[in-house]
Structure 1
């Protein structure tokens, strides 16, 4: 919805990462990028929150990275190389997952270009395990790997309400750890990040499954759909250099309200982090 067909003119590029090779409960997030695109036709291009319209922006949908089934390292490498091209061309990458492990690839590339990178992580799960069933690369370990890339104190975690005791202890001691809540701690953090490069990773299961049931590991007790939209709006004015939205699993939501929420968040992200054509 609303995408332009001119890569060179676009400053924000949408990129699908249809991988779900390491999911620990219910598979199917590889279908997330496609379904988010499909249902986007059902929402308006105009945002009444921001009083902005996609018609005034030029963003490009580059399609999906081809990820060979079952090959985790190769798939991440392909995604990382693609994001490197986007960043090298001065584009803002907005990656659609797929499982949460795909976030590691764009974070690596963003950190390589921005040594002072802060990562804002919205999720129901801490994702801080050292390994999961002996595997270091998993959607259950992704934020531990991200912390190794950017430094744990540069990782800000919001809405966390699930994990092992060891994960919660690691988060409280090492990351900027804000369990259970999203908006209140985010309002406190945003002023501290002014001027710093910021990467945003948003797992749709941060939202309560009453509002977003279409995800692989739903966790009751989360924020509302309205609250996650507000959270994204709070980032306006920050130097956000990249973003991903992951873990939409359409097969578990015949109503499509999860994918519709994701599409709405993508619309808001384009309008927040892209540039109007008039300003180029």
Structure 2
């Protein structure tokens, strides 16, 4: 059962329904950027994604479907103790646990990438065969960062501790230390700088697993998504990603997050609009 005391109610995402019981997916915002190491501001991402969603049509020409026909609930933003990483991760984990117990799909909006760790952990408990599709500019596979085990730079390393070996698929990665690239060679798959080609090459392999998708908005070139904490030149185009959307429909997606949208670093709002449009497509695929 959804624990309402965990949330601060906000205006909902485009066409979100009011009936939690009938919803297939539940949107949760996580306004957290406590371990960000370069540019802060991602705590403002969830609200901005919702705000700009009202500029989108509910109909997707990519999928020929409308959100009017889908049931999903927007719970609002989690009420986190500012600066307390450990307690915040426990609250995120509890939220995911409640949603999964109700047999709904968790859809979380960041916030920094560390929020994905407790989510993947809980989803993996429910789905032991889980694989993770990770779209990002950065590998996020360090064992520690500035002496910390829990950081936006260590999130996928921590997540791997709760997955079977070789169940991490990374796309678009173009930044990291050597040890991270060595780690993924031994424990997963990495498509260096490429998104579409790597995704299609491995599609027949990962389509058989329950999947958690984590999307860091900096997987896109900064010309498409400048509003992020650690922009990295050389990324994919928005078209590259939307070309993949019809294939999402063929996957068993059991959890999703989109993270690292930092509105204060993008006055044009195109980063938030991109995130909102991606969210629309994902909801159409999973609901």
- Give the alignment's TM-score, normalised by structure 1: 0.96
Aligned counterpart for 2:250 among listed residues 237, 245, 256: 237
Query: 1:182 touches 1:231 (CA, 8 Å); kept in 2?
Result: no
- Indicate the residue corresponding to 1:99 in structure 2: 112
- Indicate the residue corresponding to 2:234 in structure 1: 221
Query: 2:129 touches 2:164 (CA, 8 Å); kept in 1?
Result: no
Aligned counterpart for 1:257 among listed residues 250, 265, 270: 270
Structure 1 CA distance for aligned equivalents of residues 194 and 107 of structure 2: 24
CA offsets, 1:36-60, max 9 Å, x none?
Answer: 0000001111101101001111111
CA offsets, 1:70-107, max 9 Å, x none?
Answer: 11111011011011110110111110000000001110
- Indicate the residue corresponding to 1:182 in structure 2: 195
| Equivalent residues, number | 274
Unpaired stretches in structure 1, ≥5 consecutive residues: 275-280
- Indicate the residue corresponding to 1:266 in structure 2: 279
CA offsets, 1:150-194, max 9 Å, x none?
Answer: 134110000000011121122223221211111111112121123
Query: 1:86 touches 1:92 (CA, 8 Å); kept in 2?
Result: yes
Structure 1 CA distance for aligned equivalents of residues 61 and 135 of structure 2: 24
- Indicate the residue corresponding to 1:112 in structure 2: 125
Matches within 5 A, 1:1-280: 1-274=14-287
CA offsets, 1:96-154, max 9 Å, x none?
Answer: 00000000111011100111100000000000101000000000000110111113411
Residue 238 of structure 1 and its aligned partner are, at CA, apart by 1.1
Q: CA RMSD in A?
A: 0.9
Structure 1 CA distance for aligned equivalents of residues 15 and 47 of structure 2: 15
Aligned partner of residue 150 in structure 1, secondary structure: coil
Where is the helix percentage greater, Structure 1 or Structure 2? 1
- Give the alignment's TM-score, normalised by structure 2: 0.94
Unpaired stretches in structure 2, ≥5 consecutive residues: 1-13
Query: 1:211 touches 1:225 (CA, 8 Å); kept in 2?
Result: yes
Deviates more, 1:11-20 or 1:228-237: 228-237
